[in-house]
Structure 1
Amino acid sequence: MTLPPVRVRAGCKFTRATAHITQEERSMGTRHLTCVVKDGDYKVAQYGQWDGYYGGAGIDILSFLREKLNREKFLANLAQTFQPDDGQIETMNATLKAAGKSVAALYPSMSRDTGGDILELIQNTIEPIPLSLDIEFAADSLFCEYAYVVDFDKGTFEVFEGYNETPLAEGERFTFLNDKTKGKYHPVRHVKTYQLDALPTDEAFLSELEPQDEDEE
């Protein structure tokens, strides 16, 4: 039986079989979004299933930006990324079925496992890679627990948190998603902005975003 192509968020596998995720697997996930803005558009909005917290994806993204980013190379490769159409998704499904391999193995840029590592993947690629933009995931902060935005227009690295029960005020990055919310949770809220040319150390980053209580020190 041929599995039908499915247009899904970046982190998910392409076929119905991927819907069978155990409750234990779900409980281990810390879902998040990694975004890149260039020329006023979201060029990357990568859903990540695991380790979205500050000490996980946050540090990974920060470290890449601070120590590995080659701006010229990254932006050149970013311009070559593409959103696959239904025919390309169908071809990917057929390839996955024939190879008996995972999305992470064959199409890591479309895998929920990649998360913030999408930045390094884009920089190091030698051929155009497919992306699935999932910007509306930021609208439901019950599930989108963290979001990280690299804005090359503004020269900033921005950090956002979920579990937000208050509609965003005008001027917040994700205010345009206010009407996409369901239930009591609203889009992820802004926490901190860093300049790309003055990024903090890992220690400073965590101390600002995860301050310890006095009785924990």
Structure 2
Amino acid sequence: MGTRGLTKVVDRNGVTKVAQYGQWDHYPSGQGVNVLNFLLEEPKRVHKLELALDKCEFVSEDVSEILYAEYSNKYPDNEEMDRFTMVMPAFSRDTGSDILKVVYYSAGKVLLTDSSDFENDDLFCEGVYEINYQTNKFISKYGDVVAEFPLNNLPEETDYLLAFAKQEVNA
């Protein structure tokens, strides 16, 4: 069973540009560290990701279902569905926080599904990892623990994980 969650990016105007549901590893040492390491990977990554948000476009649930149906009619076996995940990663529950790489590296429009509502699912949404350009913060929520870090002063992985350990001890 997976640890489900959300990878979210909010632009400087407060508009959600990415809200990617993920099925796997939405605990701080999983998807949280993945987001953190993505942001720390190269100088100016935080700024360049913000510029890439213009490529993001949410599509309706109807459109995403049509895309999925067209592909599964064309390629009915499971192996071909793996190919769909490669071609349209934004429509896969397996992509998780790697959606940030899709947005960052894509040359053209990035079609996305808006899973923002999943953040409010107290039963099934176990972790939310948000890059918020309006507040200039990387916000990680796991269970009842919330850790916030300035985008211009992100912690190293050890300090990031320590923030969750400290809050759990103090709770």
Give the TM-score category using the shorter length. 0.7 to 0.9
Note the aligned Cα RMSD (angstroms). 2.2
Cα 1:137/1:128, change in 2 over 3 Å:
same
Q: Give TM-score scaled by structure 1 length.
A: 0.67
Please identify which structure carries the higher strand content.
Answer: 2
How far off is 1:87 after superposition? 4.7
- Between the aligned partners of 1:81 and 1:75, the Cα distance in structure 2 is 11
Specify the alignment match of 1:197 in structure 2: 152
Specify the alignment match of 2:41 in structure 1: 67
Q: Does 1:98 align with 2:74?
A: yes
Q: Provide structure 1 residue ranges, at least 5 long, that are not aligned to the other structure.
A: 1-26, 163-188
Which residue identity does 2:51 align to in structure 1? A
How far off is 1:53 after superposition? 0.7
Q: Give TM-score scaled by structure 2 length.
A: 0.83
SS, match of residue 130 in structure 1? strand
Moved over 6 A (4+): none
Contact 2:10 2:16 in 1 (8 A): yes
Specify the alignment match of 2:32 in structure 1: 58
- Between the aligned partners of 1:138 and 1:47, the Cα distance in structure 2 is 9
User: Which region of structure 1 is more displaced relative to structure 2, 92-101 or 143-152?
Assistant: 92-101
- Between the aligned partners of 1:50 and 1:60, the Cα distance in structure 2 is 12
- Between the aligned partners of 2:64 and 2:142, the Cα distance in structure 1 is 34
Q: Does 1:111 align with 2:92?
A: yes
Q: More relative contact order in 1 or in 2 (CA 8 Å, sep 6+)?
A: 2
Q: Does 1:153 align with 2:127?
A: no
Q: Does 1:41 align with 2:15?
A: yes
Specify the alignment match of 2:52 in structure 1: 77
Q: What CA deviation, in whole Å up to 9, does each residue of 1:152-173 have, x standing for no partner?
A: 12211011123xxxxxxxxxxx
Contact 1:77 1:128 in 2 (8 A): no
Specify the alignment match of 1:209 in structure 2: 164
The structure having more radius of gyration, on CA atoms, is 1
Please identify which structure carries the higher helix content.
Answer: 2
- Between the aligned partners of 1:192 and 1:72, the Cα distance in structure 2 is 21
Which residue identity does 2:10 align to in structure 1? V
Contact 1:96 1:106 in 2 (8 A): no
Q: Percent identity?
A: 32
How far off is 1:197 after superposition? 0.9
Contact 2:4 2:125 in 1 (8 A): yes
- Between the aligned partners of 1:156 and 1:87, the Cα distance in structure 2 is 32
Contact 2:131 2:139 in 1 (8 A): yes
- Between the aligned partners of 1:199 and 1:76, the Cα distance in structure 2 is 19
Specify the alignment match of 1:136 in structure 2: 117
Cα 1:75/1:198, change in 2 over 3 Å:
closer
SS, match of residue 55 in structure 2? coil
Q: What CA deviation, in whole Å up to 9, does each residue of 1:54-78 have, x standing for no partner?
A: 1100100001112246345423332
- Between the aligned partners of 2:21 and 2:63, the Cα distance in structure 1 is 22
Specify the alignment match of 2:106 in structure 1: 125
